[in-house]
């Protein structure tokens, strides 16, 4: 997500088309995805059949998206990318904000930690006085908020499950797990992801894994690894199609390919030093600022 907007800003005054940055970015990020996929394959965490049937309609969407970039104004393409990026930021922020909360209550000089688990009242430890009315009221308010959050999350999950309940379905049995493929959902989601990938150079991994888990019932570990394989295939198709359309620069691809590999190692090191919350907050703020700057440069030429 960083690569396209950053290079769009850096190369804005050098007459490098946005579509060329998209094509070079997709082809360059493919290298990083390939390395991750090889690691996942060695761990036997990839479902090849699921990945391949998902990528067939995705490939059709990629062709459509890449074709549209040759027919619409570049500013529109940039704006579509910005809308996609902002949607992703909001999704990350929403998930972090509505994460499971742990409440700490100070009582008699002792800090009690109460994890919200559906509104059940925590038991008072032996030898400690019962909570005061103010503490009870504060805890009740926090639990009420948590219930509303859980209800909203349940609605979102229910939407995915309702979409996945349509027929026809295809039941797949594996040695250690099984899942049901909803043909309608697979085609619709894959076409949408493919079209987006063809237009803005993303792999759509942030959509694929949740769909596999919530929509098809694939185990999380298999879904994440298979999602990475599908993202890698999507990036490959996207890169190849943009190369065919002439939207590619070898020098830019070289920079992105080398940078993405080194970036993977740097990201792995930073992940051990900083909390997940700090990293995600930094990513949201940085990408939001870059996206806004990209829109300003694209539409106002500043």
**Close Cβ partners of 241 (under 8 Å, ≥ 6 residues apart):** 23, 62, 63, 66, 198
Between residues 67 and 87, which one has the greater pLDDT?
67
Average pLDDT, the chain: 73
**pLDDT grade, residue 45 (50/70/90)?**
confident
Interval 276-301 mean pLDDT: 71
What is the tens place of the pLDDT at every residue in 231-285?
A: 888 888 888 888 988 889 999 999 988 888 887 777 666 666 776 667 667 767 7
Between residues 219 and 103, which one has the greater pLDDT?
219
| Confidence check: pLDDT of 54 > 70 | yes
For residues 287 and 85, give the distance between their C-alpha atoms in angstroms, rounded to a whole number.
8
Interval 86-106 mean pLDDT: 57
Peptide bond into 168 cis (omega under 30): yes
| Confidence check: pLDDT of 1 > 60 | no
Domain boundaries, the chain: 3-99+168-300, 102-161
Interval 215-219 mean pLDDT: 79
- Which pLDDT score is estimated for 159? 57
Question: What is the torsional sign of CA 72, 78, 83, 87?
Answer: positive
Question: If DSSP codes are grouped into helix, strand and coil, which group holds residue 180?
Answer: strand
Interval 163-187 mean pLDDT: 77
For residues 176 and 284, give the distance between their C-alpha atoms in angstroms, rounded to a whole number.
37
pTM over 0.85: no
Question: Where does the chain have alpha helices with state H?
Answer: 3-10, 18-42, 48-69, 74-97, 133-164, 183-200, 205-210, 220-244, 250-273, 276-300
**pLDDT grade, residue 113 (50/70/90)?**
very low
| Confidence check: pLDDT of 126 > 70 | no
Interval 183-204 mean pLDDT: 78
Q: Name residue, tokens 């996609």.
A: 84
């Amino acid at each position: 997500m960083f690569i396209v907007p950053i290079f769009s800003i850096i190369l804005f005054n050098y007459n490098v088309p946005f579509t060329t940055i998209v094509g070079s970015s997709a082809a360059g990020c493919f290298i990083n995805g390939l390395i991750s996929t090889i690691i996942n394959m060695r761990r036997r965490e990839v479902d090849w059949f699921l990945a391949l049937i998902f990528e067939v309609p995705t490939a059709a969407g990629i062709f459509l998206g890449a074709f549209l970039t040759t027919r619409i104004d570049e500013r529109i393409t940039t704006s579509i990318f910005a809308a996609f990026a902002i949607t992703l930021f909001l999704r990350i922020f929403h998930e972090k904000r509505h994460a499971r909360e742990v409440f700490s209550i100070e009582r008699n000089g002792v800090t009690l930690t109460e994890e919200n688990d559906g509104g059940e009242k925590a038991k008072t430890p032996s030898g400690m006085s019962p909570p005061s009315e103010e503490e009870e009221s504060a805890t009740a308010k926090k639990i009420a908020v948590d219930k509303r959050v859980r209800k909203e999350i349940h609605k979102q999950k229910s939407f995915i499950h309702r979409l996945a309940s349509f027929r026809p379905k295809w039941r797949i049995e594996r040695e250690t797990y099984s899942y049901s493929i909803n043909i309608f959902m697979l085609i619709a989601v894959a076409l949408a992801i493919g079209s987006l990938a063809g237009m803005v150079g993303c792999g759509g991994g942030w959509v694929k894994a949740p769909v596999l888990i919530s929509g098809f019932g694939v185990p999380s570990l298999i879904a994440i690894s298979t999602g990475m394989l599908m993202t890698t295939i999507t990036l490959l198709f996207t890169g190849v199609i943009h190369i065919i359309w002439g939207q590619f620069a070898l020098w830019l691809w070289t920079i992105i390919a080398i940078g993405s590999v080194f970036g993977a190692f740097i990201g792995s090191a930073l992940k051990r030093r900083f909390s997940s919350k700090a990293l995600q907050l930094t990513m949201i703020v940085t990408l939001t600022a870059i996206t806004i700057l990209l829109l300003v440069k694209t539409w106002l030429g500043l």
